[in-house]
Amino acid sequence: MVTKKTIIVTGGAQGIGKCISQYLLEAGEQVAIADIDTEAAAECLQQFSRHAESLLFVKTDVSKETSVRECIASVVERFQRLDALINNAGIAQPHSGPVENLSLEKWQEIIQTNLTGCFLMSKHAIPHLRSCKGAIVNIASTRAFQSEKNTEAYSASKGGIVALTHALAISLGPDIRVNCISPGWIEVSAWRKLKLATRPQLREIDHLQHPGGRVGKPEDVACLVKYLISDAAEFITGENFIIDGGMSKKMIYL
Asked if 90 and 161 count as a contact pair (C-beta separation under 8 A), the reply is no
Q: Catalytic: which of 23, 154, 227, 253?
A: 154
- Over residues 183-203, the pLDDT tens digits come to 999 999 999 998 988 888 888
**Mean pLDDT value across the chain:** 95
Q: pLDDT digits over 88-107, tens only?
A: 999 987 667 789 999 999 99
Count the neighbouring beta carbons within 10 Å of the beta carbon of residue 47: 13
**Amino acid identity for residue 245 in this structure:** G
pLDDT per position as a tens digit, 105-124 = 999 999 999 999 999 999 99
pLDDT of 3-21, one tens digit each?
Answer: 899 999 999 999 999 999 9
Q: What is the pLDDT of residues 44-77, one digit of tens each?
A: 999 999 999 999 999 999 999 999 999 999 999 9
Give the Cα separation of 95 and 88 in Å (integer).
19
Residue 243, pLDDT score: 97
Reply yes or no on whether 154 is catalytic. Answer: yes
Q: Using an 8 Å Cβ cutoff, are 222 and 19 in contact?
A: yes
Q: To 5 degrees, how large is the angle CA 12–CA 113–CA 198?
A: 45
In the chain, pLDDT over 90 holds for what percent of residues? Answer: 85
- pLDDT number for residue 157: 97
Homologous superfamily of the 6-249 domain (CATH): NAD(P)-binding Rossmann-like Domain (3.40.50.720)
- The model carries a pTM of 0.96
> How many C-beta neighbours within 10 Å does residue 45 have?
15
Q: Where are the domains positioned within the chain? A: 6-249
